[in-house]
Amino acid sequence: MPVVKAAIVVLDCAEPEKLAEFYKELLEGERTYASANLVEVKGADGLRLAVRRDANATPPSWPRPENSLQAHLDFLVEDLDEAERRIVGLGGRPLETKDPAGPYEERGYADPAGHSFTLRLVPPLAPKLG
């Protein structure tokens, strides 16, 4: 029997309620736990993410070296443009929207508190032949 039952990515920010709402909507999930200083969200696919209050939190400055990348999330999507519209509509902002060449297209964004994350295009699965 495993000792660790689950893993939760926790992001620090000044206003966890607002940031948790951003991720709840982005992940089309639900709020599963809330206290004065922590809000947990479970995405539709089972991803668990928590947001913890830190009044002194400063947003990561990625890709600049000062206060560099503290955490990073990758979200797999089928349509980068549709996902970008949703993110911007929820209060996120693009960091890098140039699509690199190749099958693993991706774009960088920041959530409303400044944490960076990446959207990666899910490569289409070719149908099996024969």
CATH number at residue 115: 3.10.180.10
Q: Could you list the residue range(s) of the whole structural domain that residue 34 is in?
A: 9-121
pLDDT at 76: 83
pLDDT at 39: 96
- Whether 49 is in a domain gets the answer yes
Q: Which amino acid is at 22?
A: F
- Whether 91 is in a domain gets the answer yes
- Whether 27 is in a domain gets the answer yes
pLDDT at 69: 53
pLDDT at 64: 65
Q: Which amino acid is at 33?
A: Y
The answer for residues whose C-beta is within 8 angstroms of residue 45's C-beta and 6 or more apart is 27
The answer for residues whose C-beta is within 8 angstroms of residue 74's C-beta and 6 or more apart is 106, 117, 118, 119, 120
Q: How far apart are CA 61 and CA 116, in angstroms?
A: 9
Q: How far apart are CA 127 and CA 33, in angstroms?
A: 41
pLDDT at 15: 93
pLDDT in tens, 61-115: 666 666 555 667 888 888 888 999 999 999 999 986 565 555 457 888 999 998 8
Q: Which two tokens stand for residue 20?
A: 């948790």
Which among 65, 60, 68 is positioned nearest to 109, based on CA atoms? 60
- Whether 129 is in a domain gets the answer no
| C-beta atoms surrounding 104 within 10 Å | 10
- Whether 66 is in a domain gets the answer yes
Whether the model pTM is above 0.75: no
